[in-house]
Amino acid sequence: MQKNSERTLADGTRISDLINLETREVAMRTLSDPELYELEMERIFAKTWVFLGHETEIPKSGDFMIRDLGSDSVLVARDKDGVHVSLNVCPHRGMKISTLDCGNTPAHVCIYHGWAFKPNGDFIGAPVEKESMHGKLLSKEQLGLKKARVAIYGGLIFATWNIEGPSFEEFLGDAKWYFDTLWCRTDKGMEVLGPPQRFTIRANWKTACEQSASDGFHVLTLHRWLSEVGPYRKPGSEGGGGDLTPEMYGSEVYTAHAHTMRCIELDRKIRRLTGKDPSELSVKEKLEALPPPGVTQEMIPELLRNLSEDQLKIITWRPPQVGNFFPNGLFEFVYIPTPDGVVGVMALHAYVPKGPDKLEFVNWILAEKDTPPQLKATMLRLGVQLLGTSGMVEQDDSDTWPHQTIAAKGAMSKHITLKYQAMYETGKPEGWPGPGDVGDGFTKDDTQWRWWQYWHELMTAES
Amino acid sequence: MLQNLLEPTPLPPSVRANRLAIGSPEYNEILDFLYDEAEMLDNLRLAEWGELLTQDLEYNAPLRHTRSTAQFDQTYIRTVQHLHESYGSMMMRVKRITDTKSAWGEDPPSRVKRMVSNVRVYKTDKADEFKVESYLLVTRSRFDFDYFDLIPCVRYDILRRVEGSLKLARREILLDQVVIGTPNLGIIL
Ligand code: FES
Ligand SMILES: [Fe+2]
């Protein structure tokens, strides 16, 4: 009997034939194949926890917003009990329940035949109650919207259709130790500075997501302009432009479920700001010299209280600056040099699959709730200038992914491979206190390869 | 409060009584400005375009939301926007294109047409400033792709006369799409 894991595509190719686990290569075809896309929606997006937004987007009871959980539209709504995620499809005849982007209502009434649902998805009733237009075969309890399982972590909303599957904490695994230094460092936590930017890219979701798993190399060339003009330019260096190479050093963390991050070294910045050798400074002194993005001097005692000594060591030495939540989330906590000093930018992206050749890029910009308004405004403006729709950095990314997607269809090119063969060879950096697999030094491919290993694991898993 | 720091300076109202007649000399001069600006941008004369901007420029493109008819005024989002620019940041965008060899998102450049129409000009209570409303339909052709990205929008501009010539002091771009149908706004609108 054929095992599920050996499931083949229509032309006889096995999924495990698309990826060479020894040589760390992935067949290009994987980037655009419609059959694989359908399988990904079932085996990845219906199985893992998926990032949907931030709870500060819907602060009041009755607030709701419409998001995508894989290829399905979902209603994300708050009531007095918390945040609920339900399929945005009417169980009567399949009309979309809410056609709006967001709003506030105690009852979501389907405009087709009038069935009504609570923010938590429960069926309230149909018009003309006494005539029981929903019949008697099913109880009202059975006629609610299909409900997903929800987890709120550091204000982030995640959901899954895998009701009996692993807990959110299990899903995060070793990444949680690091993510806590980002999302759970202050007493009040974070907030979005507004709704997300959204735009369409004619590219497969994996082109964006394999990059999101901490592709360091691409910064050197695809984002080379950063060294030629603007904040990172260091006059007098080669070619009239600066060199981004120093930004490529640090640690890279990759965990079992393919959550990864680049922990870029701060030593040079701290040396420049203080004129002192960072090894002679205490954690507190380093935090005061260069507070993390969105953090002010007043908030530093909170960090010292909320994080462990080991976590504090990481965030003042090599803090996570960019990384991903598998399958389709990305975060950035970057330190941007400006004429007025270093300004932090914090952003989250979701790369929502919209078919084999299309994705929706969703970009949120965040700050700590306690970040002073003036600094929030600066962070927001800088975020808009560098990231998302018009971002001068991410324009280059969004123009690249469509080419990969088109190439993945060529009779020859679909068989060539994506290569992830630059490997860390020295293990964890000395004195690294954090969990997970950790590489030391110049960026490598291990984080992205981990992304594909987990993709492979899920795509060939016995369901 | 954050909201106040992010919201652009409110535009003066579009009062019918203040409208300049189509075909009047000042109207024609402003129409010339918009056509010339479109030509400069279509032909990558970006440094020249930069000279049309005032130092106190506010240049914004709000997000849009799909809301009910009753909540139409809430369909514009001016906290996070697609563009949230000052003179300095706009010139940075210009320099990325003109002064680097690796602005890959627009190198090779898109072929772009900026079609300006429905131009209405209003006098404001400042003698040297006009409020100008225009429709803009941008077609963007990239590489050998067989489709155009379309970017329809309305622009609300403040044009100011500085030492005899008109300059752009403020622009708000209201895009029609909630989910922008082009991979980036690496072109100037
Ligand atoms: S489809 Fe929703 S009430 Fe009929
Ligand atoms: Fe990038």
* Within a domain: A403: yes
Q: What is the pLDDT of residues A376-401, one digit of tens each?
A: 999 999 999 999 999 999 999 999 99
The pLDDT value given to residue B7? 85
> β-strand A437-442 against A329-338: which pairing, if any?
unpaired
Same structural domain, A300 and A427? yes
Same structural domain, A198 and A286? yes
Same structural domain, A189 and A72? no
Q: pLDDT band at residue A366, thresholds of 50, 70 and 90?
A: very high
* Within a domain: A272: yes
Same structural domain, A87 and A216? no
Same structural domain, A226 and A95? no
R_g over Cα of chain B: 17
Q: pLDDT band at residue B168, thresholds of 50, 70 and 90?
A: very high
CB contact under 8 A, B82 and A400: no
Q: What is the pLDDT of residues A159-182, one digit of tens each?
A: 999 999 999 999 999 999 999 999
Same structural domain, A141 and A178? no
As given in the structure block, the two tokens for residue A228 are 């030629």
At residue A306, φ and ψ (nearest 5 deg) are -85, -20
Q: What is the pLDDT of residues B14-38, one digit of tens each?
A: 999 999 999 999 999 999 999 999 9
* Within a domain: A13: no
Residue B95 is nearest to which of A100, A196, A229, comparing CB atoms?
A229
The pLDDT value given to residue A301? 98
- The proportion of chain A whose per-residue pLDDT surpasses 90, expressed as a percent, equals 92
Report whether CATH 3.40.190.10 matches the domain B25-175: no
Same structural domain, A63 and A93? yes
Q: Is A199 in the pocket of ligand 1 (CB under 6 A)?
A: no
The pLDDT value given to residue A215? 96
Query: Which residues in chain A have their CB less than 8 angstroms from residue B46's CB?
Result: none
Q: Is A92 in the pocket of ligand 1 (CB under 6 A)?
A: yes
The pLDDT value given to residue A240? 47
Distance CA B39, CA A250 (A): 47
Q: In the sheet that A50-54 helps form, which strands lie side by side, from edge to edge?
A: A50-54, A156-160, A149-153
Within its chain, how far is the Cα of B136 from the centroid? 9
Domain stop point among A161, A182, A197: A161
pTM: 0.97
Selection from B84, B104, B46, B68 nearest residue B172 by Cα: B84
Same structural domain, A191 and A290? yes
Query: Residue A386 belongs to a domain with what CATH number?
Result: 3.90.380.10
Ligand in nearest proximity to the CA of A124 = 1
| Mean pLDDT value across residues B49-65 | 98
B69 touches chain A (CB under 8 A): no
Instruction: Look at chain A and report how many structural domains it folds into.
Output: 2
Distance CA B32, CA A133 (A): 63
From A87, A95, A99, A108, mutation site for ligand 1 pocket: most ligand atoms within 8 A of C-beta: A95
Q: If you count residue pairs, one on A and one on B, with CB atoms under 8 Å apart, how many are there?
A: 147
Q: What value does the mean pLDDT of chain A take? A: 95
Q: pLDDT band at residue A1, thresholds of 50, 70 and 90?
A: very low
Ligand in nearest proximity to the CA of A117 = 1
Q: Are A260 and A213 in contact (CB under 8 A)?
A: yes
Domain stop point among A135, A161, A187: A161
* Within a domain: A440: yes
The pLDDT value given to residue A243? 76
* Within a domain: A25: no
CB contact under 8 A, A228 and B102: yes
Distance to chain A for B139, nearest Cα, Å:
16
Which residue out of B7, B76, B87, B100 would a mutagenesis test of the A interface target, given it has the greatest number of A Cβ atoms within 10 Å? B100
Q: Considering only alpha carbons, which residue of chain A is nearest residue B86?
A: A381
Compute the distance from residue A354 Cα to the ligand 2 centre, in Å: 21
Same structural domain, A378 and A427? yes
From A73, A86, A89, A90, mutation site for ligand 1 pocket: most ligand atoms within 8 A of C-beta: A90
B47: enclosing H helix or E strand: helix B46-50
* Structural domain for A108, as ranges: 50-161
Residue A236 has pLDDT above 60, yes or no: no
R_g over Cα of chain A: 23
Residue partners of B16: CB distance under 8 A and separation at least 6: none
Same structural domain, A364 and A422? yes
The pLDDT value given to residue A238? 44
Same structural domain, A177 and A86? no
Which residue out of A68, A105, A199 would a mutagenesis test of the B interface target, given it has the greatest number of B Cβ atoms within 10 Å? A199
The pLDDT value given to residue B63? 98
Paired strand residues for A352: A360
Q: Are B79 and A365 in contact (CB under 8 A)?
A: no
Same structural domain, A410 and A289? yes
Residue nearest to atom 3 of ligand 1 (CA): A113
Residue A462 has pLDDT above 90, yes or no: no
Residue B83 is nearest to which of A198, A365, A384, comparing CB atoms?
A384
* Within a domain: A181: yes
Ligand in nearest proximity to the CA of A114 = 1
A105 touches chain B (CB under 8 A): no
Residue A241 has pLDDT above 90, yes or no: no
Domain stop point among A161, A189, A215: A161
A385 touches chain B (CB under 8 A): yes
From A108, A111, A113, mutation site for ligand 1 pocket: most ligand atoms within 8 A of C-beta: A113
CB contact under 8 A, B105 and A374: no
- Choice among A118-122, A330-334, A458-462 with the minimum mean pLDDT: A458-462
Q: Is A95 in the pocket of ligand 1 (CB under 6 A)?
A: yes
Query: Residue A105 belongs to a domain with what CATH number?
Result: 2.102.10.10
